[in-house]
Every structure is written in C-alpha cells, then in structure tokens.
A and B are shown apart, each in its own frame.
Chain A
Amino acid sequence: MGERARVPRPAGRDEPHPRPELDRDDDPHRSDPGPLAGAPGCRRLVHPARDADRLALVWAYVRYGGTPTGEALLYGIEPVVITIVVLALVKLGRTAAKRSPLLVITGLASLVLYLVGVNELILLLGVGLVVLVVQAGSRLGPGAARTIAPLTSAPSCSRLSSRTGPRSCSGGCSSSSSSSAPLCTGAGMCSSPSSGVTWWIGWGGSRSTSWSTRLPSGSSRRAGVHSGEVHRVPRRRDHRGLLATAGIFLPAFVFVGLLSHWCR
C-alpha cells in the first residue's frame, strides 16, 4: 500500500513513452478475480444516477488527468484536498478525545497497525472489540459496583464535584460515611460547602439514566432538571444488548469481507 500505483494516474494522450504493460505473472498487485467479479450485483455497488457528480469527476480525471494541464491542476489541488481531510480528522480526533482517552489510544493504534499493513476489516473489528471489552470491564469491574446498582443509585457526588472539597448530601440524598466519595441515593441535593456549588441529582424515566443539574449559587430548589448534565448508569445485565451487538456486527463484517473478496 502507499505506492504511487495505488491511485493510478491516467496515461496521457501525448505521453511519448507509454508505460509498458506488466506481465500478469510479474505484477505484484495482481490477484485472481473473485467468483462474483463482474456480476450484476457487484456492478450495482455504483449507482449511476446517485453518483453522477462523482462519476463526472472520475471521468474528467481519467480523460484529462494525464494531460499537462490536468497534471498542473492536480499539482495544486492534491495538497489542498489532503489539508482539508487532515483538518476534518483533527476535528474528529478532538471529539473522540473529549469522550474518552481510550478512544484516542485505539485510534492511534489503528493508525499504526494500518501503516504496518494489517487488513482494514480485521483492524476495524479488532478495535471495536477492544473498546467493547475495556468499556465493559470498566462498567462491570469491582470499582463500578457502587455506581451500577440500578434504581437505587445515582452518580456519586464525587463525579459531580470532584474538585470542590468536602461534600454533603441533603434531601433524598444519603451518603456513605466510610467513603470519601459519598454515593447519593435517590433524588436530592448534593452540595459542597467550600465552593457553594449545589447539584440536584436523581434519575430519569429509565433505570439506566440518571441526571444532575448544577443549580445557581444559594438556590434551594431544582431548576431545569431536563437541561442538566445526563449521566448514564449502565444496567447490571445487558445480555440481550451483547447478543444483538454480536449478531449485527460479526455478520456485517463477515459479509463485507466476503463481498470485497468475491467482487474484487
């Protein structure tokens, strides 16, 4: 991969020395066609009406890309397009970094593995499984026990105001005295005396969703509950979700892999 022949330049009409055709046995990129190569279903992967604009660009590239004028245009367009793609990737990477450092690590790992030459489909499936296993482990591990108990727990106060020093709970909120991170049960106030920050926490309609809202300083009543920050408290058991995930993703990867193999 990564060779210049990956996106073959069209042969110029005025090319003085046309490129010699590679002997089929000498071509390193040659592979035997799949059993469905050229089948109608494979050709339908490109829909003429839907992809008209892209087909027009492809036609122009093939028709004029090898001419001196076309090459001069591409000389300026290629770096600009690469820059646009890189900027878009930076935005996506920032979004992932805000969600979880794990996603950044796996993204960088997938980049390195791709450059090493690992198959793209295997890479996607592997990264998905790694994130699935690690996230599930963090949810179901010993440290998560306090935050998992459905219906009887809301997020701990430490998650809401971890930098505000000592915390206290009031209303329907109770704290475990042995823990430096009190677990608030039910709905109520969670306040930090040192900073004056007050949270109203509780759970929503779903057992797996709890919410918290930061109240104005000195406020004693809840306000704008549904505009508050929403924390998801995962269910203890989600076997159906796991089965559905495996039942959808694994066949999808196998299907795409076989299709790309057969239709090449």
Chain B
Amino acid sequence: MRRSAWARDMLDGVNVGAVGLMAGVAWQLGRQAIVDVPTALFALGAAAVLLRFNLNSGWVVLAGGALGLLVTAVR
C-alpha cells in the first residue's frame, strides 16, 4: 500500500491521528496519576533518568513501584 501516494497519505494521516489520540489518553491518565508533589517528582525523575541514562523502562517502573511503597510507608 505504501507504493500508492494516496494510501501513503491516508496512512500518514491515520498514524498521526493515532498519536494525537494517544496524547489525549496520556493527558487524561496523567491528570489522574500525578496528583501531588511526590508523584510529580516521580514523573520528573523518571523522565530525567530515561533521557540521561537511556535505561531500560522496566527498571524505571520497578524503581517507581519501590519508591511508591517507600513514600506510602513514610507518610
């Protein structure tokens, strides 16, 4: 299908529309997930670690879970 200019344009549009939908869902879920200062710090820290060290996302998720347990226990 990519060989046809029409299909290529349509696919480009659908792809970018899907990215927009994903951004909308991420925005909605983010508003539910980031509710206070610790969760905002988790998000910023995860972004910094992923951008700086290019770490595997699974380790960052595990670290987030551990930090969540820690913060909940301390409060």
Contact = CB atoms under 8 A, between A and B. Distances in A.
Interface stretch (A24-32, A162-170, A178-186, A236-244): A236-244
Nearest to B44: A83
Contacts of A131: 9-10, 12-13, 16
A204 interface: no
Given A87-B51, A131-B13, A135-B9, A80 B46 contact: yes
Interface string A109-147: 111011100001001111111111001100100000000
Contacts of A226: none
A92 B47 CA distance: 16
Contacts of A234: 5
Given A6-B28, A79-B39, A244-B1, A89 B68 contact: no
Interface stretch (A13-21, A100-108, A191-199): A100-108
B60 A111 contact: no
Interface residues of B, number: 55
A107 B13 CA distance: 8
A77 B10 contact: no
Given A238-B5, A245-B4, A82 B13 contact: no
B21 A89 contact: no
A238 B5 CA distance: 8
A96 B1 contact: no
Contacts of B20: 106-111, 113-114, 123, 127
Interface residues of A, number: 67
B68 A99 contact: no
A73 B23 CA distance: 24
A2 interface: yes
Nearest to B68: A76
A207 B41 CA distance: 55
Contact of B4 (A72, A130, A238): A238
Contacts of B10: 128-129, 131-132, 245, 249
Given A6-B28, A130-B13, A79 B64 contact: yes
A113 B24 CA distance: 9
Contacts of B64: 76-77, 79-81
